[in-house]
């Protein structure tokens, strides 16, 4: 593995590119929009500065990491020499199927095609290519430079060789990989999203307020963030789309999204990324409960 390409310069893509480059891989970050690439590079640089100021990396490591990173809006040119492509585009099935069909034409035959999807079937994504044995899930957690887990998802046709390569590669990135099978939500989101949905139901039913629910789970269960704060951090649109995958995939009403979540997504109150969800982030360092949920 020498040349890595990361598709999509959003919240996950910039973190994935950061981690590969910091681990010594030549990494190209690709997006259709130059502004997204510029924003991603500024974020990576800021996060590297944070690591330098905490003493977890040196200034020289920061410089070398940035030197190993390149950006491009030309997916075909970047993929022509890739050994591994990690797709981290928007969580939309049609978009991912199109990207994988394109990658299959653009990338060399030996190249492994991985998706950072949080819930879309790897088997379905692999079926858009002529190399389903080389398609795998590599699901990083946000914030990628901090979180140790990589959920490695084997599609129906993923080969043993490709699975072992990706497990070893994840270790080389300093992560702790866990191998799971390709069923709706995999493991992380099959367990996390019903908890978040239940927290939203708890608010909707009036059992407690936003801060009370989050405090119970932070102090009572030692979670670093309460479930409503975490939902804002992940993005409420992402939470809703994962719950829909679980609901459709298992056909079980226990995964039905809370109507309050549906309303908030419809109203574009998506959490950190739009400045308001359960909390208001006008001052991102000091979020306050959103006006809608403040005690009247």
**Residues forming the active site:** 118, 139, 151, 189
Is there a contact between 28 and 4 (Cβ–Cβ < 8 Å)?
A: yes
Least spacing, CB of residue 128 vs ligand CAA, in Å: 21
Is 23 among the residues that bind ligand CAA (CB under 6 A)? no
Is 98 among the residues that bind ligand CAA (CB under 6 A)? no
Binds ligand CAA (CB under 6 A): choice among 147, 178, 180, 289: 147
- Beta carbon nearer to ligand CAA, 141 or 290: 141
Closest CA to 88 of 140, 22, 159, 35: 140
Q: How far apart are CA 131 and CA 134, in angstroms?
A: 6
- Beta carbon nearer to ligand CAA, 57 or 84: 57
Closest CA to 183 of 123, 243, 237, 238: 123
Least spacing, CB of residue 267 vs ligand CAA, in Å: 21
- Beta carbon nearer to ligand CAA, 28 or 234: 234
Locate 189 and state its tokens: 């989101």
Show the site string, 56-95: x = touches ligand CAA by CB under 6 A, - = not.
x---------------------------------------
CB atoms within 10 A of CB 291: 8
Angle, in degrees to the nearest 10, between helices 188-204 and 210-221: 140
Binds ligand CAA (CB under 6 A): choice among 27, 121, 158, 189: 189
Is there a contact between 33 and 201 (Cβ–Cβ < 8 Å)?
A: no
Is 230 among the residues that bind ligand CAA (CB under 6 A)? yes
Is 224 among the residues that bind ligand CAA (CB under 6 A)? yes
CA angle 18, 22, 23 (to 5 degrees): 120
Q: How far apart are CA 163 and CA 251, in angstroms?
A: 29
Is 116 among the residues that bind ligand CAA (CB under 6 A)? no
Residues in contact with ligand CAA by CB under 6 A are 47, 50-51, 54, 56, 118, 141-143, 145-147, 188-189, 224-225, 230, 234
């Amino acid at each position: 593995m020498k040349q890595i390409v990361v598709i999509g310069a959003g919240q996950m893509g910039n973190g994935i590119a950061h981690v590969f480059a910091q681990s010594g891989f030549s990494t190209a970050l690709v997006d259709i929009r130059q502004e997204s690439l510029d924003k991603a590079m500024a974020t990576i640089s800021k996060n590297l500065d944070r690591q330098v100021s905490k003493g977890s990396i040196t200034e020289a490591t920061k410089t070398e990491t940035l030197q190993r990173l390149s950006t491009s809006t030309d997916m075909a040119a970047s993929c022509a020499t890739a050994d591994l492509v990690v797709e981290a585009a928007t969580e939309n099935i049609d978009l991912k199927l199109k990207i994988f069909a394109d990658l299959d034409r653009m990338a060399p035959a030996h190249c492994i095609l991985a998706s950072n999807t949080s819930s879309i079937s790897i088997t379905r994504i692999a079926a858009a290519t002529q190399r389903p044995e080389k398609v795998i899930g590599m699901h990083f957690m946000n914030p990628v430079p901090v979180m140790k887990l990589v959920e490695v998802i084997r599609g129906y046709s993923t080969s043993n060789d490709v699975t072992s390569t990706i497990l070893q590669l994840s270790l080389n990135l300093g992560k702790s990989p866990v191998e799971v099978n390709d069923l709706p939500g995999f493991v992380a989101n099959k367990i996390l999203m019903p908890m978040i949905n239940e927290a939203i139901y708890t608010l909707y039913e009036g059992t407690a307020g936003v801060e009370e629910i989050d405090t119970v789970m932070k102090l009572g269960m030692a979670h670093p963030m309460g479930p409503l704060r975490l939902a804002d951090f992940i993005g409420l649109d992402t939470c809703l789309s994962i719950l829909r995958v679980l609901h459709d995939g298992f056909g079980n009403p226990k995964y039905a999204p809370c109507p309050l979540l549906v309303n908030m997504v419809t109203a574009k109150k998506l959490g950190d990324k739009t400045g308001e969800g359960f909390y208001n982030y006008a001052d991102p360092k000091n979020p306050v409960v959103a006006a809608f949920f403040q005690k009247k």
